[in-house]
């Protein structure tokens, strides 16, 4: 499986390294090298991807001990998003995922 990266962040980091360490170099090949890298990053294909919230990190994901306190019984974890009751695994995700606050 291909790994996805933030190409814009990589581009900025390479620019930063160049500016801090190599921009004053008298060697033409160093400048050509960095320009080639930056050009290559811009030419790479992109995908429309967004980070997902896994069920275990979602505010709609309720553990059995939390759910039982509400007077209902379940044999596993439950998702109570938008009135539905489904039983996802901790690594699952859906389009309704909202990260649980740590506070």
- The tokens for 92 are 């699952």
Q: Are residue 37 and residue 63 in the same domain, yes or no? A: no
Q: Are residue 69 and residue 90 in the same domain, yes or no? A: yes
pLDDT cut 90: percent of the chain above it: 37
- Residue pLDDT, tens place only, 10-40: 999 999 999 999 999 999 999 999 999 999 9
> Number of folded domains in the chain?
2
Nearest to 23 by CA among 96, 33, 5, 64: 33
In a domain, 1, yes or no: no
Angle between helices 28-43 and 7-17 (to 10 degrees): 170
In a domain, 25, yes or no: yes
Q: What range defines the domain where residue 65 resides? A: 51-103
Nearest to 58 by CA among 99, 90, 96: 99
In a domain, 2, yes or no: no
Q: Are residue 33 and residue 16 in the same domain, yes or no? A: yes
Q: What is the pLDDT of residue 5?
A: 85
Pairwise CA distance, residues 72 & 84, whole Å: 14
Q: Are residue 97 and residue 71 in the same domain, yes or no? A: yes
Q: What does each C-alpha distance from 101 to 58, 66, 70, 93, 98 come to in angstroms?
A: 9, 16, 21, 17, 9
Q: Are residue 59 and residue 33 in the same domain, yes or no? A: no
More confident residue, 91 or 20: 20
In a domain, 99, yes or no: yes
């Amino acid at each position: 499986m291909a790994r996805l990266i933030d190409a814009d962040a990589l581009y900025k980091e390479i620019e930063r390294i160049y500016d801090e360490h190599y921009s004053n170099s008298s060697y033409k090949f160093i400048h050509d090298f960095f320009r080639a890298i930056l050009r290559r990053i811009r030419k790479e294909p992109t995908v429309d991807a967004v980070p997902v919230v896994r069920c275990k990190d979602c505010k709609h994901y309720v553990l059995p001990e939390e759910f039982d306190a509400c007077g209902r019984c379940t044999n596993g974890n439950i998702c109570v998003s938008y009135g539905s009751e489904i039983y996802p695994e901790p690594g699952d995700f859906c389009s309704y995922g909202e990260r649980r606050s740590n506070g």
